[in-house]
């Protein structure tokens, strides 16, 4: 694949941002943060599989089966913030790449694939529209720009937008709230060697560290509904339900299943 030049990349990124703005308008989202990207995607009848993979390079993929069902997979061995960005990335493929049958994605890494560059830009702009970032920054800190920004400022914005530390930091740079030198200094906190320090500071600010940690597997909502429907019709046994739920470390009782007795 030919290397993409700077100007072409800029045009592709703008395409992604324009699609994100259009999508937000069509969904009536305005410029507010998205509190539940996973729930939003499931509204489109997508089977969202959040499950661990031992492949460290695998972030996510989208695929369709022969029956026409769309599956989006997210690796729960990545942090929640990373999963959220990956979900928004796959959402772009879902909405605007209709001829796509399968694609394995590693957001922010595939910089020579035009479709992936567009999807990355879409994800960033969809989750963190710059007008929204500027507006909330003013609400929280009173002015557009600040020369004395610390990781605490970044963490507060991160928690509001439900994204990773590095993602919101990049948005602050794009929104021209921080300069490139300040970005470089603050970016150090996102490095693996500072992971514990970031968690400690997040806790000291009274926030959960969930965005910067791996997550447990999440059973797809549509699967729960389907299991209940088929179980009530007698199409699957209690034992089968128990086995399937065990794949997500869940029990039938937790999800409202009761054994039938003759």
Residues 121, 49, single domain; the answer is: yes
213, part of any domain: no
Q: pLDDT value at position 236?
A: 87
Q: Give residue 237's domain range.
A: 221-255
Residues 158, 234, single domain; the answer is: no
Tell me the helices (H) and strands (E) count for the chain, helix number first: 11, 4
Q: pLDDT value at position 106?
A: 63
d(C-alpha 49, C-alpha 245), whole Å: 13
260, part of any domain: no
At 97, which helix (H) or strand (E)? none
Q: pLDDT value at position 262?
A: 41
Q: pLDDT value at position 146?
A: 63
| Closest by Cα among 190, 247, 194, 197 to 224 | 247
185, part of any domain: yes
d(C-alpha 115, C-alpha 45), whole Å: 23
Output DSSP code: residue 161. H
Domain harbouring 71, CATH code: 1.10.10
Domain count, the chain: 3
Residues 231, 194, single domain; the answer is: no
pLDDT along the chain (262 residues), means of 10: 84 97 97 97 93 88 81 95 97 88 61 88 98 96 76 98 98 95 95 96 98 92 87 89 87 88 48
Residues 61, 107, single domain; the answer is: yes
């Amino acid at each position: 694949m030919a290397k993409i030049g700077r100007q072409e990349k800029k045009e592709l990124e703008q395409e992604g941002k324009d699609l994100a703005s259009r999508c937000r308008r069509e969904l009536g989202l305005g410029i507010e943060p998205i509190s539940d990207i996973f729930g939003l995607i499931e509204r489109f009848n997508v089977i969202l599989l959040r499950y661990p993979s031992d492949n460290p390079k695998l972030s996510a993929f989208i695929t369709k089966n022969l029956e026409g069902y769309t599956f989006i997979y997210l690796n729960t061995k990545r942090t929640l913030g990373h999963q959220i960005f990956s979900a928004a990335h796959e959402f772009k493929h879902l909405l605007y790449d209709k001829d796509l049958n399968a694609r394995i994605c590693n957001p922010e890494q595939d910089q020579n694939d035009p479709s992936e560059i567009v999807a990355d830009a879409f994800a960033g702009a969809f989750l963190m529209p710059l007008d929204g970032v500027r507006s909330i920054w003013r609400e929280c800190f009173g002015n557009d720009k600040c020369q004395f920004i610390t990781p605490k400022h970044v963490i507060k914005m991160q928690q509001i937008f439900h994204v990773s530390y590095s993602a919101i930091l990049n948005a602050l740079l794009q929104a021209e709230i921080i300069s490139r030198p300040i970005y470089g200094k603050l970016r150090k906190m996102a490095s693996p060697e500072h992971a514990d320090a970031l968690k400690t500071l997040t806790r000291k600010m009274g926030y959960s560290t969930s965005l910067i940690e791996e997550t447990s597997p999440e059973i797809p909502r549509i699967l729960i509904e389907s299991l209940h429907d088929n179980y009530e019709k007698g199409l699957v046994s209690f034992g089968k339900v128990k086995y399937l739920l065990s794949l997500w470390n869940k029990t039938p009782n937790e999800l409202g299943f009761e054994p039938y007795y003759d």
